[in-house]
Structure 1
Amino acid sequence: MTSSTSPRRRLAVALVPMALFVALVALLVFGLGNDPRKVPSPLVGKPVPEFRLPELTDPSRSVTDEDLRGRISLVNVWASWCNSCRAEHQALMALSESPDFQIVGLNWKDDAGDANRVLRMTGNPYDMNGYDPDNTVGIHWGVYGAPETFVVDHNGIIRHKHIGPIDRTVWEETLQPLIAQLKAEQ
């Protein structure tokens, strides 16, 4: 800076990096304070996106958006490589015994052989399982990662999105009351 620069101008130039630093720290604190499982989905309250996927265990069959009409559905996004999906698997197996809803898998960015091997070894909680290796359908559902679970009502409307594994707390505090409400609405 030249000697002709005023002290006020030098102070303003010196404060710019400090203001940027404070703004970045504020954004970091804000971001760390948010729960990533509470990312709002623009699809909640809207019909499920149209789709057609091969059925994972029987590629001659298809899984479509029409399969999500007529009864309550839990659409569970999962993959064989996903550790959190493995953690929630036993909960899904227990839930699969309920007559109140169907569990529809969306096998996401996976290898069909690996996925089928996991289901053979650990059990298959899914009434049907769409195979989406290239994220063709996942992108239209706004999938961020696995596991994610969507609650779809009997009219094919997405009513809730849960990011992360389903465990006892998620079931008892969120999903079970919502399913009871949806059943009462039928």
Structure 2
Amino acid sequence: MFASLRFAPLFLLATSFVSAGVVVEKRSSTADIQTVFNTLKGSTDSILPQITALSSGGNASDDTVTPLINDLTAAFDTATASLAALSPVEARKRQSDDDIANLVAGILTDVTNALDGLLADASSIPALGGLLASVDTSLNQVILGLEVLLAGVLNLVANLLVDVAGLLRSLALGLTLATLGL
């Protein structure tokens, strides 16, 4: 009986934290960030081939491209929200930064290549300029979120995208170019 009384204050303290809604915040890690970008890659990997097929098949139009670009923008917005829920990572390994930079650069390269194919069909896609502007805005938010969480990693990403900078310019993705310093 005395043993159960000895633990009663601990039980009351624990239940008061639970009932007060106190939540212990978990520190974010590079693995959390990588998970966000792996999820984004999964989304872009399902959207971009459809865009490429439309442009290579000559079937790109406002009606066919707009929903896909909207899906792409929504994927970036989801990634931005997921990144915003994380806290900056202080202690990390160089290899982790390199892995994330390679993943992000790969996503940006894939997006740029797919969207570049639409430029040849620009006359049949009058809304393309506005669609690309929305992609640029959403993509830039993802990149800014990454920089907040992993300070300095954008330099690695930018170094990997030097060859893609011309395509980013032709797509008029100025915000993205400026954030990356390209």
Counting helix residues as a fraction of each chain, which structure ranks higher?
2
Q: Same fold (TM over 0.5)?
A: no
TM-score (norm 1): 0.29
The TM-score, its normalising length taken from structure 2, stands at 0.29
